[in-house]
Amino acid sequence: MARATFRAKLFLAALATAALALVVASALFAGLMRARTNARIESTLVAEAHLAVELVKAAPAAARWQDEAVRVGTAVGARVTLVAPDGHVVADSAETPEAVATMENHGTRPEIVEARESGFGAARRPSDTLRVDMLYVAVPASRPDVAIVRLALPLTSVEQQIRDVLRVTALALVVALAGAALIAWALSGRIGARVRAIAAAARRYQAGDFSAPRADFGDDELGTVATALDGSVHELGRRLTEIARDRARMTAMLGSMTEGVVVVDTAGELQVANDAARRMLDLDEAAIGRHYLEATRHPAIRELLSEAVDGRVPASRELAPPRHPDRTLVAYAAPVAAGRPLGAVLVLHDVTETKRIDRMRRDFVANVSHELRTPLTAIRGYVEALSADDGLPEERQRFLEIIARNATRMERLVSDLLRLARLDAGQETLAITRVDVAALAGTVVADLSPVLDDRDQHVTIDVAPEAAVVEADESKLRDVVRNLVANASTYAPEGTTVRIAARREDGCVSIVVSDEGPGIPEGDLTRIFERFYRVDKSRARDPGGTGLGLAIVKHLVELHGGTIRAENIPTGGARFTVSLRNADGGQVRG
């Protein structure tokens, strides 16, 4: 079923109002006209009755009353009845003399009785003679033979006059209704157009479009209300735009923060939780809108938020996040108020890496101190022995060799530390060239041949043709392979073989150095590249090493954009694999 438009409703309402007003006015007018017409007819009939009395009084004594009644009735335009003092009818202008003789006595008629008593009488009732409703007016004539003159007028003529008046009134009503309909239709059209314009603007605003300029809605009450609402909506839209912009900025800032941020309202329900907080506290999307007691089960978080929501500023706490006991968080909570309590905010800092670095720093300082103390103690002791100058020349020479060896070790340690510092600071640069892997491996073996020969160890080199050339910094790649081979030689037994191999795998050149030593405990594989990290079991420590070789290797490989991994060989020994991405892994060009 079609819904009526605003214009149709307004038109029908205006038309119904106009019609009701016109009908009521017409009814009142018709009633007033009827009353006035009756009064006018009655007064006219009274005047005619007095005229008829005068005419009767002027008639001669021997007048023929029937003819006189007809003459007077013709003169006044009404039925004239002459009544004797005893009430019998003397003459009647509407009857024949024979009919008059048979008419009943009129002495008891109301108008006759009233005329005798007060000098004038009037009544309305059906006529027994004419069988129609009549209006009777009686006036005394004061003659011996005619006491009362009565005039009668049929009410049908009165009703006819009233019907004429009502007909004219009905015609005027129809014309007025037609005019009212035209006016109502035109007025409703104008108002409907303005209402449609207001509705169209409201639909744009509902869709979030506040770009349209403010419209002219007119200067009447409707226009004033529409203009005020339009201004309010534009102001609201401006504020919503600012809020959305601020919220987007806040979301972007919170999303880019490494700290976790959680905001709760005064009821304790979560309002905001950035990605970092979701990861730290294992919150899901459904957590927003829930109470913090339901969203997080960590007792320390509950206590912090409870105190902050109550308006207190709790002390920061260090805790481990749920399901991640190996991580460390520092939580801060504070109430939020802007003239009135608004809730609380919780900030979480992940200090796991900071603590790890701090622990590494302490370990590093301890290890460096230990590494330096050992050669320094040896040097000091032998210097004191030399200062005594009471030994044999052979002993002084041996002391000097020991001092020189420890000084060299300290020099290597300081050099390695400085190199690691440069690598950490990003001060090492690459000079990429095409490096012959087999030739580089041969150079490394030649450099280490005194150490290898001293331990009766052999080195095999197996370079696949597709991995013969790699694009890298030759000097740094040589340091990588040298450290790996020296490490393998140090921890492998005497008389064993160290293998150097190169293969091309998945677009990368892999350089593999393996030994036949005792291998690396599984728990130490992930930490073997840490500075000064020592495997206390299964592998002996090189008394002349610095403990920084593998750490330098890892930094140099990562500087090339490659990776390195350590693993145990099932048949025994350890294997280190360096993977470098190579644009052209073809054979060496002559």
pLDDT of residue 485: 92
pLDDT of residue 219: 66
**Confidence band, pLDDT 50/70/90 cuts, at residue 503:** very high
pLDDT of residue 273: 83
Q: Confirm if 197 and 217 have CB atoms less than 8 A apart.
A: yes
pLDDT of 16 > 60? The answer is yes
Decide: pTM greater than 0.85. no
Using alpha carbons, select from 280, 292, 300 the residue that is nearest to residue 349.
Answer: 280
Q: What is the DSSP string of 144-176?
A: SS--EEEEEEEHHHHHHHHHHHHHHHHHHHHHH
**Is the domain of 340 the same as that of 380?**
no
The amino acid present at 507, given as its one-letter code, is G
395 vs 534: which has the higher pLDDT: 395
pLDDT of 537 > 50? The answer is no
pLDDT of residue 7: 64
**Is the domain of 262 the same as that of 307?**
yes
Using alpha carbons, select from 31, 149, 155, 157 the residue that is nearest to residue 93.
Answer: 149
Q: Confirm if 157 and 45 have CB atoms less than 8 A apart.
A: no
**Confidence band, pLDDT 50/70/90 cuts, at residue 131:** low
pLDDT of residue 420: 67
Domain membership of residue 211 (yes or no) is no
**Is the domain of 291 the same as that of 393?**
no
pLDDT of 578 > 90? The answer is yes
Give me the CATH number covering residue 275: 3.30.450.20
d(CA 385, CA 378): 11
What average pLDDT does this structure show over 261-282? 83
**pLDDT digit string (tens) for 171-192?**
877 887 787 778 877 777 777 7
**Is the domain of 412 the same as that of 437?**
no
**pLDDT digit string (tens) for 307-332?**
888 888 888 888 887 777 778 888 88
What average pLDDT does this structure show over 545-553? 74
**Is the domain of 458 the same as that of 312?**
no
Domain membership of residue 225 (yes or no) is no
pLDDT of residue 585: 44
**Is the domain of 436 the same as that of 420?**
no
**pLDDT digit string (tens) for 343-352?**
888 888 888 8
**Confidence band, pLDDT 50/70/90 cuts, at residue 481:** very high
pLDDT of residue 588: 35
Mean pLDDT of the chain: 79
**Is the domain of 274 the same as that of 404?**
no
pLDDT of residue 370: 64
**pLDDT digit string (tens) for 52-88?**
888 777 777 656 888 888 888 888 888 888 888 888 8
Domain membership of residue 511 (yes or no) is yes
pLDDT of residue 187: 75
pLDDT of residue 358: 76
d(CA 297, CA 281): 9
Among the three residues 108, 128, 161, which one is the final residue of a domain in this structure? 161
Domain membership of residue 44 (yes or no) is yes
CA angle in degrees (0–180, nearest 5) for 356-359-362: 150
Domain membership of residue 360 (yes or no) is no
d(CA 262, CA 272): 6
Using alpha carbons, select from 142, 149, 130, 144 the residue that is nearest to residue 69.
Answer: 149
d(CA 407, CA 378): 10
Among the three residues 350, 378, 393, which one is the final residue of a domain in this structure? 350
Which domain, by its residues, includes 305?
Answer: 257-350
pLDDT of 506 > 80? The answer is yes
pLDDT of residue 216: 63
pLDDT of 410 > 90? The answer is no
| Least confident piece of the model among 17-26, 168-177, 405-414, 482-491 | 405-414
Give me the CATH number covering residue 568: 3.30.565.10
**Is the domain of 282 the same as that of 417?**
no
Return the DSSP state at 344: E
**Is the domain of 395 the same as that of 461?**
no
**Is the domain of 409 the same as that of 280?**
no
Give the whole-number percent of the chain exceeding pLDDT 90: 11
377 vs 368: which has the higher pLDDT: 377
Domain membership of residue 189 (yes or no) is no
pLDDT of residue 587: 39
Q: Confirm if 325 and 300 have CB atoms less than 8 A apart.
A: no
Among the three residues 127, 144, 161, which one is the final residue of a domain in this structure? 161
Residues 6+ apart with CB under 8 A from 496: 457, 458, 515, 516, 517
**Is the domain of 514 the same as that of 558?**
yes
294 vs 459: which has the higher pLDDT: 459
CB atoms within 10 A of CB 19: 16
**Confidence band, pLDDT 50/70/90 cuts, at residue 306:** confident
**Please, what sign has the CA dihedral across residues 221, 226, 227, 229?**
positive
pLDDT of residue 540: 42
pLDDT of residue 130: 62
**Confidence band, pLDDT 50/70/90 cuts, at residue 541:** very low
Cα torsion 500, 504, 507, 513 to 10°: value is -20
505 vs 181: which has the higher pLDDT: 505
Domain membership of residue 172 (yes or no) is no
What average pLDDT does this structure show over 230-259? 77
**Is the domain of 470 the same as that of 378?**
no
pLDDT of 500 > 90? The answer is yes
pLDDT of 426 > 80? The answer is no
138 vs 255: which has the higher pLDDT: 138
pLDDT of residue 185: 79
- The count of domains in the chain is 4
